[in-house]
Structure 1
Amino acid sequence: MRDLVYPPVIAFARTAFKVLDLRFLMSGTEHVPRTGGAVIALNHISYVDFVIGGYGAYPSGRRVRFMAKEVLFRNRFSGPLMRGMHHIAVDRSAGAASYREAIRYLGEGEVVGVFPEATISRSFELKEFKSGTVRMAAEAGVPVIPMILWGTQRMLTKDHPRDFSRHRPVSITVGAPITVTPEDDAVEATAHLRTTMAGMLDQTIRAYPEQPEGAWWLPASYGGGAPTPEEAARLDQEELDRRRTRQTKGGAD
């Protein structure tokens, strides 16, 4: 796949990392295959997860093609970049097209990045997973590579102002490849992936060098001030309701 946009974007991101003096705590990056197709499954806690998650594949020399909301491709600023890096637009009203494009990418030996939770987790713990991740890996005959990000929520996430302070630790934990076949039950395989990533997330949080009690970016179950999963679900629903109200009013004008 011809890449004219991705290399300069990577160079810009690496320069930004140096300017911010981010302290990357990376482990298991050797699990990202250097050749061939693979699906990278990531937790989702920040708007910068695309950038940091892509960096997790950098040691293996791979460029990740992320599945992302179609609205990002229509934006006059992000659109040219998303298309130029050959990311995959996801239109939730017509998801089959993006699914087929991801399968095609995997068949061509590309690495596709997927957020099985679909949206950012306000609790910073794992939400329920969609089964598309394991289904596409099974159909394409490629492994699923679990990846956990931590610390990115401190930069830019929902309900909090952006904060790109310097010297911040950022964790990237990559797990061993998970094999999924067409004969496997997609629900069970998805549950296994979520359980695996939940264990990785717990280890990553506990190994993170900063654990201030009551911190807004730390999950409630770890003594932090983040919403519980139940509170986060309520906030998600309220956000969805507001969006639907705006769409209804817009359609009525």
Structure 2
Amino acid sequence: MEPFYRTIIGVARTLFAAQGLKFTITGEDRIPKVGGAVIAINHTGYMDFTYAGIPARPSRRYIRFMAKKEVFDHKISGPMMRAMKHIPVDRGDAGDSYRLAVEALRAGELVGVFPEETISRSFELKNFRTGAARMALEAGVPVIPMIVWGSQRVWTKGHPKRLGRTNTPITIRVGEPIEPYGPAAEMTAELHATMEKMLHEVQDAYRHEPGTYWTPRRFGGTAPTLEEASALDEAAAAERRARKERERAERERGNEGGDGQGGGTGSGPSAQ
């Protein structure tokens, strides 16, 4: 047992109870009691990783989630994430995170991955990256699909968080393990098809409210379609790139100014 991770789980359970969250969980027995596995999870809300760890409790396992580097850079969340042995992901250079994930899998750990990389604004499955399949192939471990549904009602992209007592129902389903095989693109395609089928089954059994932002368009909600969501994601990515370019240009201008001042200082008495 890991005291700190166990304590965080206890705090989370208390928070979930205070919120009145109602979990329906199936397939927990598909989480292996020993050995490594990639846990592939759909992504609809910021709290997904906190819910995705619940099915591992009966097996007394901990999931090491791959999360963006910025979370680890934060002065509060960073030390906590490192203490729980989660894995930082630098989107500009994901090589180190991939290596760390494969090492963890080979050491018998469960590694949590979001193949869509970012939250799906449409709440339908986006295209998958091949990372989950490639890690499973390299480490020789299965990929276990998992669907979390309802978390978008608690906190999702573009909408206020609802962390009070909402009594929100959340469904979590664990699928059958997919043994690794190549090429990775084919395994990824099977994973996507499997998770899409699971997602539709979970959605069909869930009580949606037409006209709400958290309900997919095909159930009468106001969430964007997959195509509309893709356009929003592309626009946001373009804005991030433009912002980084502006920041880079500002740093370069600042460095040029600093170099000029340094030259002036070097010609003073202290340089004699």
TM range, normalised to the smaller chain? over 0.9
Q: TM-score, normalised by structure 2?
A: 0.89
Preserved CA contact (<8 Å) 1:44 1:120 = yes
Preserved CA contact (<8 Å) 2:72 2:88 = yes
Q: Which residue of 2 aligns with 1:166?
A: 166
Larger radius of gyration: 2
Give the CA deviation at 1:59: 2.2
SS of 1:94's partner is coil
Instruction: Specify every segment of 5 or more residues in structure 2 that has no aligned partner in the other structure, as ranges.
Output: 251-272
88-97 vs 128-137, which moves further: 88-97
The aligned runs of 1:14-53 (5 Å cut-off) are 14-53=13-52
Q: Which residue of 1 aligns with 2:226?
A: 229
Preserved CA contact (<8 Å) 1:4 1:84 = no
Runs of 4+ in structure 1 over 3 Å off:
none
Q: Which residue of 2 aligns with 1:198?
A: 196
In structure 2, C-alpha distance between the alignment counterparts of 1:59 and 1:20, rounded to whole Å: 22
Specify the code of the residue in structure 2 equivalent to 1:192: E
Out of 184, 187, 207, the residue aligned to residue 185 of structure 2 is 187
The aligned runs of 1:150-165 (5 Å cut-off) are 150-164=149-163, 165=165
Percent identity for Structure 1 against Structure 2 = 49
Specify the code of the residue in structure 2 equivalent to 1:234: A
In structure 1, C-alpha distance between the alignment counterparts of 2:21 and 2:126, rounded to whole Å: 27
Give the CA deviation at 1:117: 0.4
In structure 1, C-alpha distance between the alignment counterparts of 2:175 and 2:168, rounded to whole Å: 23
Specify the code of the residue in structure 1 equivalent to 2:236: E
Give the CA deviation at 1:4: 4.0
Note the alpha carbon deviations across 1:114-161, whole angstroms, 9 max, x for none.
Answer: 000011100000000000101111111111110000000011111101
Preserved CA contact (<8 Å) 1:45 1:153 = yes
The aligned runs of 1:57-136 (5 Å cut-off) are 57-136=56-135
Give the CA deviation at 1:245: 2.0
Preserved CA contact (<8 Å) 1:220 1:228 = yes
Q: TM-score, normalised by structure 1?
A: 0.95
Q: How many residue pairs align between the two structures?
A: 249
Specify the code of the residue in structure 2 equivalent to 1:178: I
Give the CA deviation at 1:19: 1.1
Give the CA deviation at 1:163: 1.1
In structure 2, C-alpha distance between the alignment counterparts of 1:113 and 1:88, rounded to whole Å: 9
In structure 2, C-alpha distance between the alignment counterparts of 1:212 and 1:222, rounded to whole Å: 8
216-225 vs 115-124, which moves further: 216-225
SS of 2:15's partner is helix
RMSD: 1.2
Preserved CA contact (<8 Å) 1:3 1:84 = no
Instruction: Specify every segment of 5 or more residues in structure 1 that has no aligned partner in the other structure, as ranges.
Output: none
Note the alpha carbon deviations across 1:163-208, whole angstroms, 9 max, x for none.
Answer: 1243110110100111113xx2111110000000000000111111
SS of 2:105's partner is helix
Give the CA deviation at 1:222: 2.2
